[in-house]
Amino acid sequence: MVDTLIIGAGTAGCVLAARLSEDPGHTVRVVEAGSHWAGTDDFPPELADSADLPLGDRASWLWRYSVALTPDRPGTIVRGRGIGGSGSVNGSYFIRAAARDFTAWSRETGSRSWDFESALPYFRALENDHDYGDHPGHGRAGPVPVRRTARPTPLVQEFGAACRDLGFGEVADWNALPGGPESGVGPVPCTVGPPDASGRRHRIGPAHSYLLPALSRPNLTVRGETVVTRLCFRGSRVTGVDCLTAGEPETIRAERVVLCAGAIESAALLLRSGIGPVAQSAALDIPVIAEAPVGRWFTDHPEIGIDYRHPAPEGRSVPLEYVLEFDDIEIRPYTVAFTPGAYRMGVTLMRPTSAGGIRLTTADPLSAPRIEHGYLETGSDRDRLRDAVELTGQILEAMNAEPVGGTGPISDRWLLDRLGTSQHLAGTCRMGRADDPRAVVDARFRVHGVEGLSVVDLSVVPVPLSRGPQATVVLLAERAATELR
Ligand SMILES: Cc1cc2nc3c(=O)[nH]c(=O)nc-3n(C[C@H](O)[C@H](O)[C@H](O)COP(=O)(O)OP(=O)(O)OC[C@H]3O[C@@H](n4cnc5c(N)ncnc54)[C@H](O)[C@@H]3O)c2cc1C
């Protein structure tokens, strides 16, 4: 029987498996629903170039979900499926959450254990920042390579100039210590390699940084194409999991199970196993193990996509070379085309007040849960996005860009017609005190009310993050490794 069984070899699972197996006396097994690519050359070639978002309709390395962004605005979201999880298919953007996010997070745990000062040593240890590694608050020796674009594409240069014309300052390093400018425009730190002879930069996800280098350890085993369907319990103690490999059922026993299946599937697994709202379990004839508010409130970053035409030539680069940030808005001049012949500006609300929910509609382990984002439910979310869209109109004007379909007036309908998501769904199994009716795990990732079970992935983040989540997921998995050793 292994010491730790990790469900999901995504971003958090790769970090945790590599760190826990550093101790040769600790046996770790990882089961992953998607492929187990055991070496860099085994990865599908489509995942290699950081300039591509490999999200095609037929991609076998994705989970795909139908969602309701609002009651009348359906959408589709994806997640990575295979070693590295979403970190193997994402945009490589790697910005630390803001200090205020950690303050809010810490408050949820009733202690100071999650404030920025506590996070900083982990941020320093996990990164190899090729631009600012020697600066205070940074690291040079960690597994995660971080690089910024030195010469942005012509389109992004125009974007930067337009933002500066409108009075925004330059932010050279979004991962700098708190105290510097929090608003402004600047280059995005990315998890990519150096440019090769043809200028291509390889996407370097958590599989490359963490899991692959650890695979030769005898105390670590990884199995792909294995879908965990349910957790097994003796009383309130978890004893292992039921899973399916090529349709064949099996039970795997373990001393401890850690869910790293991502914010959607970790929540769904808990719900299917009887850890969730009692009424939901009862309605689906799932025996109750523990009442818990799993899936009740999640946050994600709503994003308004404004397509525009611009004469700048298309370049090959990471999808986001620069961002503009102010208040809780991030404006993203994507370099990849989402619509043929047009560029897209993403206008994103980073700390929405509206929240979403996930619930099961069937106990069938292979059916997706219902996902309702609850976007734009509050007037304050709509107002802040509307103001940001107006400002984006000024940026586009300063860039001499031509918005497809014009810009205004910006009614609720106008917003809804362009509403999308940043694919950052978080907080389905929130961290918090045992007496907090919204909390599912404690500050050390252990599920309240049961033994031998932890959740370590984006599910646990209890507050909206002002930045994309990837750096925060790596950080929290690094922290979990020290808690679970
Ligand atoms: C297209 C896209 C682009 C993104 N771009 C960025 C970006 O540029 N910057 C940024 O900060 N964030 C970005 N994100 C978000 C970020 O990548 C994710 O939030 C983060 O990687 C989540 O990590 P995780 O460990 O929580 O889950 P994941 O990395 O999604 O890992 C979950 C893993 O669990 C496996 N799994 C799930 N269920 C089961 C099961 N039942 N049995 C076995 N295995 C299972 C999955 O196959 C997967 O490998 C993006 C997300 C997407 C989808």
Residue 301 tokens, joined = 């970053």
Ligand 1 centroid, distance to 10 Cα (angstroms): 6
- Residue 218 dihedral angles phi and psi, to the nearest 5°: -65, -20
Q: What's the confidence (pLDDT) of residue 118?
A: 97
pLDDT tens for each residue of the chain, 485 residues long: 999 999 999 999 999 999 999 999 999 999 999 999 999 999 999 999 999 999 999 999 999 999 999 999 999 999 999 999 999 999 999 999 999 999 999 999 999 899 999 999 999 999 999 999 999 999 999 999 999 998 999 999 999 999 999 999 999 999 999 999 989 999 999 999 999 998 899 999 999 999 999 999 999 999 999 999 999 999 999 999 999 998 999 999 999 999 999 999 999 999 999 999 999 999 999 999 999 999 999 999 999 999 999 999 988 899 999 999 999 999 999 998 888 889 999 999 999 999 999 999 999 999 999 999 999 999 999 999 999 999 999 999 999 999 998 767 899 999 999 999 999 999 999 999 999 999 999 999 999 999 999 999 999 999 999 999 999 999 999 999 999 98
Which tokens hold the place of 408? 């205004």
Ligand 1 centre distance from Cα of residue 98 (Å): 21
Domain span at 162: 2-484
What residue's CA is closest to ligand 1, atom 16? 470
Structure letter (DSSP) for residue 44: -
Query: Is the Cβ–Cβ distance between 93 and 101 less than 8 Å?
Result: no
Q: Whose CA is nearest to atom 41 of ligand 1?
A: 228
Indicate the pairing of strand 419-421 with strand 402-403: unpaired
State the pLDDT at residue 407.
Answer: 67
Q: Evaluate the CA torsion angle 71, 270, 65, 369 in order and state its sign.
A: negative
CA of 352 to the centre of ligand 1 (A): 21
CATH number of 135's domain: 3.50.50.60
| DSSP character string of 411-466 | -HHHHHHTEEE-S--B-TT-B--TT-TT-SB-TTSBBTTSBSEEE-SGGG--S--S
Write out the binding residues for FAD.
Answer: 228, 469-470
* Three-class SS state of 262: helix
**Which of 463, 452, 471, 359 lies closest to 109, judged by CA?**
463
Q: Are 395 and 403 in contact (CB under 8 A)?
A: no
As annotated, the binding site includes 228, 469-470
What are the beta bridge partners of residue 82? 35
138 is known as an active-site residue:
no
For residues 83 and 39, the answer to whether their CB atoms sit within 8 Å is: no
Q: Using CA positions, which residue lies closest to atom 46 of ligand 1?
A: 81
- The DSSP H or E segment spanning 475 is helix 470-484
Q: Alpha-carbon distance 141 to 133, whole Å?
A: 8
pLDDT value of position 7:
99
Which residue's CA lies nearest to atom 35 of ligand 1? 8
- Crossing angle of helices 154-165 and 379-398, in 10° steps, is 110
Say which residue the tokens 């599910």 belong to: 459
pLDDT at position 110? 93
Helix, coil or strand: residue 213: helix
The ligand 1 atom nearest the CA atom of 9: 49
DSSP letter (8 states) at residue 298: B
Q: Which residues contact 466 (CB under 8 A, 6 or more apart)?
A: 97, 98, 100, 101, 325, 328, 350, 351
Phi-psi region of 175 (alpha: psi -120 to 50; beta: other; left: phi over 0): alpha
Distance 164 CA to ligand 1 centre (A): 34
Mutate to test the pocket of ligand 1, among 30, 79, 228 (most ligand atoms within 8 A of CB): 79
Domains contained in the chain, number? 1
| Rounded Cα–Cα distance for residues 452 and 110 (Å) | 23
Ligand 1 centroid, distance to 86 Cα (angstroms) = 3
β-pairing verdict for 248-259 and 275-276: unpaired
Around ligand 1, the residues with Cβ closer than 6 Å are: 7-13, 31-34, 55, 78-81, 85-87, 89-93, 227-228, 260-263, 265, 269, 423-424, 457-458, 468-470, 473
